[in-house]
């Protein structure tokens, strides 16, 4: 497996979790559980992706700007999560903020998949693409249990 496929699989998890979470209501157990899962997914993915995708891409002049941009978006996602953490789940503001998070994440994933993957495909060698996938997956392993 190449790094792109490994990342794409986790992006699908994020999309699904966000979709399901948007359908929950109030301070319900379902909302608590799915939100906890989403935070784990997004948090661990950002770490693994920064280490095994963006960091090696920083070494090439062709992809350093994209790396900066992608990492900056991870920070924007963190800020929305911090806002959700400090908002009561029973408040309508919570769902409004979640929708903003969903929009931000969807945009970010699409940009990675449509633009960054293509450029990275030309920067990484075939063996690097596989090595990075293995390292990425190992970094995600703790939340897969």
Binding site for Fe ion (CB under 5 A): 49, 112
User: At its nearest, how many Å lie between Fe ion and the CB of residue 58?
Assistant: 14
* Nearest CB to Fe ion, comparing residues 24 and 66: 66
Indicate the residue among 99 and 107 with the shorter CB distance to Fe ion.
107
Which residue, 1 or 30, has its beta carbon nearer to Fe ion? 1
| Shortest distance (Å) from residue 7 CB to Fe ion | 5
User: In the structure, how many helices (H) and strands (E) does the chain have?
Assistant: 7, 0
Q: How far is the CB of 65 from Fe ion (least distance, A)?
A: 15
HSE-up of 37 (CA within 13 Å, CB side)?
18
Mapping DSSP onto H, E and C, the string for 30-79 reads HHHHHHHHHHHHHHHHHHHHHHHHHHHHCCCCCCHHHHHHHHHHHHHHHH
């Amino acid at each position: 497996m190449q790094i792109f496929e490994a990342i794409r699989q986790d992006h699908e998890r994020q999309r699904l979790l966000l979709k399901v979470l948007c359908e929950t209501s109030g301070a319900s157990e379902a909302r608590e559980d799915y939100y906890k899962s989403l935070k784990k997914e997004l948090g661990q993915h950002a770490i693994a992706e920064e280490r095994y995708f963006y960091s090696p891409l920083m070494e090439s002049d062709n992809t350093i700007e994209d790396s900066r941009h992608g990492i900056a978006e991870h920070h924007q996602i963190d800020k929305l999560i911090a806002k959700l953490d400090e908002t009561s789940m029973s408040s309508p503001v919570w769902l409004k903020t979640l929708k903003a998070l969903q929009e931000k994440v969807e945009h970010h994933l699409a940009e990675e998949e449509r633009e960054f993957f293509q450029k990275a495909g030309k920067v990484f060698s075939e063996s690097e693409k596989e090595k990075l996938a293995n390292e990425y997956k190992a970094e995600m392993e703790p939340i897969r249990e």
